[in-house]
Amino acid sequence: MKELGSLFGLGISARGMGIQRKKMELISQNIANADSVRNTNGQPYQRKVLNVQQEQDSFAANLSVEGQLLKLNRSNSNHFSTNSSESIALPEMKSDLNISETIDQKPGEVVFMPEHPDADEKGYVQMSNVNVINEMVDMIAATRSYEANLTALNSSKQMIKDSLEI
């Protein structure tokens, strides 16, 4: 069943849903702390961002098996020549992702509030760098991406179910 699931992309959809869920958790944490001017370190809350990057493998590395480049059969004598007449099955493409949580280092705005307990000697308070409107836009985009992955997952499940009924 694992092979059938990978054929229909269940793992890709599930991984996408997991990434979007983590992104929504960070966004909700940012929104909840948008008005926090002091954390445990005595500093204003800094916005957290989820970074997702694919490991940088070359195309040739994805087409190699145990260090040897794959050779393809020729069906026509006009094609480029190869050293081997055997065909080799393509390996699974590498799809390792680096997922990391980083802190946005931009400073928040400085507001004049002389009566605030965290105000400096001039009466200014350093606010959080979270913009609730931007966070809501990011939340909507993450929700839509989650829904798209869920739709793809359900379509794949339906295709598997239909193929088993044949």
**Judgement on whether residues 109 and 36 belong to the same structural domain of the protein:** yes
CA dihedral 19, 20, 21, 25 (to 10 degrees): 100
Q: What average pLDDT does this structure show over 6-22?
A: 84
Domain containing residue 126: 2-51+103-164
**Judgement on whether residues 158 and 111 belong to the same structural domain of the protein:** yes
Region for residue 47 given its phi and psi (left: phi exceeds 0; alpha: psi -120 to 50; beta: otherwise): beta
Question: What's residue 31's pLDDT?
Answer: 95
- Spell 121-135 as b/e; 16+ CB within 10 A means b: eeebbbbbbbeeeeb
**Judgement on whether residues 45 and 122 belong to the same structural domain of the protein:** yes
pLDDT digits (tens, 9 = 90+) for 77-124: 666 554 544 444 444 444 577 788 888 889 888 889 888 888 888 989
Residue finishing a domain among 67, 95, 123: 95
**Judgement on whether residues 107 and 47 belong to the same structural domain of the protein:** yes
Separation CA 98–CA 95 (nearest Å): 10
**Judgement on whether residues 65 and 147 belong to the same structural domain of the protein:** no
Separation CA 82–CA 71 (nearest Å): 6
Distance of CA 109 to the CA centre of its chain: 29
**Judgement on whether residues 156 and 107 belong to the same structural domain of the protein:** yes
* Summary mean pLDDT of the chain: 79
